[in-house]
Amino acid sequence: MSDDDYIYDEATGEWRPASEIAAEKAAKSAVLDASGNVLADGDSVVLIKDLKVKGAGQTLKQGTVIKTIRLTDNPEEIDCRHETIRGLVLRTEFVRKR
């Protein structure tokens, strides 16, 4: 056993295996849709609510399919394109994986 195998966790005040802490961080950073499904780059999503788009003066209706999403650094947001709106960023709480 070496010193690299365990990391001190300040939240619990215990020394814990590095693999366990890495798995927890990966689970927290996973991008989830409104139903709890894991999203990945290239997935298609469906809007679960009508959304007014700021700056575009238009509303995206519930049931609109958004194809080929891209994940961002923020696990609560996805980057996507719509036929009429470029550079659209949606909150994951308003989409469901298709």
Q: Which of 79, 47, 72 shows the shortest CA–CA distance to 61?
A: 47
Rounded-to-integer distance, Cα 35 and Cα 46, Å: 11
Q: What's the confidence (pLDDT) of residue 10? A: 87
Asked if 84 and 51 sit in the same domain, the reply is: yes
Distance of CA 57 to the CA centre of its chain: 26
Same domain, 75 and 97: yes
pLDDT in 10s for each residue of the chain, 98 residues: 455 688 888 888 999 998 888 887 776 778 899 999 999 999 999 999 999 988 888 899 999 999 999 999 888 999 998 888 888 999 999 999 99
* R_g (Cα) of the chain, nearest Å: 18
How would you classify the pairing of strands 88-91 and 58-60?
Answer: unpaired
Q: Are residues 52 and 80 in the same domain?
A: yes
CATH number, domain of 84, equals 2.30.30.40
Q: What's the pTM value of the predicted model, to 2 decimals?
A: 0.70
Number of domains into which the chain is organized: 2
Strand partners, 59: 52
Q: How much is the pLDDT for 1?
A: 46
